[in-house]
Amino acid sequence: MDSRTVGILGGGQLGRMIVEAASRLNVKTIILDAPNSPAKQINALTQHVDGSFSNPSDIEEIASKCDVLTVEIEHVDVPTLKKLQKTHPKLEIYPSPEAIELIQDKFTQKEHLIKNEIDVAESVAIESPSVESLAQVGDKFGYPYMLKSRTLAYDGRGNFVVKSKDSIPQALETLNNRPLYAEKWAPFTKELAVMIVRSIDGKVFSYPVVETIHRENICHLCFAPARVPDSIQLKAKLLAENAIKSFPGCGIFGVEMFYLENGQLLINEIAPRPHNSGHYTIDACVTSQFEAHVRAILGLPLPRNFSSLSTSNTNAIMLNVLGDKEKNKELQTCERALQTPGASVYLYGKESRPQRKMGHINIIGSSMEHCERQLRYISGESDELPS
Ligand code: ATP
Ligand code: MG
Ligand code: MG
């Protein structure tokens, strides 16, 4: 379909699913990550690079072997990408290094969104973390508030809920030596997310608005479409599209939002890559988020409706499969899913560790009630195998 080779910084599960989608279009991919990472396991024929997406010389090596460079993670070395724009003018880098740079520091990301009149939770940079400075934040925002690492955060590792003045010393100890900012507590009733595709000519397309449920800061479930009124879905879609229009470059972006008790929507954060809340698209939509990303960064066609649900009554639930305390016990959930009509299992080829993202299960049905019944069986809440 395209003779160019796509290099991917990062070979985790998102890279693995990009590789799968690219393979179906005969698009070659090479990966930069540790040996035997999930994306390399299913793509053994090309010359991958063993190393790290934060190491400049490893990034330069993969850049010399590909035509288009993309990422499955935002924590990459941006100065090297900017240097490559000058030294390798033929190399295309999507998402653009400028967008990754704005996004990878969550406080800079907030400032950028505010500048573009996008609603976000109120926040403040913590220049010199101390009991006094964090108590001042408590006076300003009230308690609880959220203390966050500006960089290298994922799955809530980098967040600390400051419940009261007394918890400030523990917050300082937990996030010791990290660049910090504080965020006002968002009293949300639901968390929503939207995957947005930006094409090479700057058009934005949105996937359906979904609802995510987190457990201990890790995405647990995703309901598509979100169980909120149509008017809120429309508002969320427009907010997400406007946010993504403010970034340069193309590719897929995940937009996380808070739906507040007072009806307001705030953006929590943006990911410049495929996102956990978009995994349902593999089975529920005409084109998956991974294929859409490949098509966007290669400038391949993205026709009308590619991002819509397969049929007007398609409903989906995605369940993340996290590593159990007892090694590999999570596979029991996958076995139950294999017995369930309408469910598909995706495993990432990782060694089982507690709370690690090991895979996900997509459940598709003609109504949300139907999907919820399948979910109850899969999660072991009910032993009645649904039809
Ligand atoms: P990931 O990148 O894996 O989505 P992360 O480590 O970047 O996670 P956030 O998205 O900032 O972390 O926060 C994780 C979760 O913590 C959110 O999905 C939400 O449930 C909760 N949370 C974050 N910020 C706030 C806030 N200001 N008020 C209330 N809850 C919050
Ligand atoms: Mg994040
Ligand atoms: Mg998040």
Q: Please write the tens of the pLDDT for every residue from 298-346.
A: 999 999 899 999 999 999 999 999 999 999 999 999 999 999 999 999 9
Model confidence at 386, pLDDT cuts 50, 70, 90, reads confident
Predicted confidence at residue 122, as pLDDT, reads: 96
Q: Please write the tens of the pLDDT for every residue from 236-260.
A: 999 999 999 999 999 999 999 999 9
Q: ipTM for the complex? A: 0.99
* pTM greater than 0.95 (yes/no): yes
C-alpha distances (whole Å) from 280 to each of 13, 327, 345 are: 14, 26, 11
Predicted confidence at residue 224, as pLDDT, reads: 98
Q: Please write the tens of the pLDDT for every residue from 40-51.
A: 999 987 789 999
Model confidence at 290, pLDDT cuts 50, 70, 90, reads very high
Cα 237–chain centre separation: 17
Average pLDDT, the chain: 97
Ligand 1 site, residue 146, Cβ cutoff 6 A:
yes
Q: Please write the tens of the pLDDT for every residue from 135-167.
A: 999 999 999 999 999 999 999 899 999 999 999
Q: Please write the tens of the pLDDT for every residue from 191-215.
A: 999 999 999 999 999 999 999 999 9
Ligand 1 site, residue 158, Cβ cutoff 6 A:
yes
Residue 1 has pLDDT above 80, yes or no: no
Alpha-carbon gap, residue 124 to 107, rounded angstroms: 8
Distance 50 CA to ligand 1 centre (A): 31
Name the percent of the chain lying above pLDDT 90: 97
Task: Report the nearest-CA residue for atom 16 of ligand 1.
Answer: 217
Predicted confidence at residue 44, as pLDDT, reads: 84
Predicted confidence at residue 148, as pLDDT, reads: 98
Ligand 1, atom nearest to 188 Cα: 29
Predicted confidence at residue 348, as pLDDT, reads: 98
Residue 223 has pLDDT above 80, yes or no: yes
Ligand 1 site, residue 151, Cβ cutoff 6 A:
no
Q: Please write the tens of the pLDDT for every residue from 87-140.
A: 999 999 999 999 999 999 999 999 999 999 999 999 999 999 999 999 999 999
Ligand 1 site, residue 191, Cβ cutoff 6 A:
yes
Model confidence at 368, pLDDT cuts 50, 70, 90, reads very high
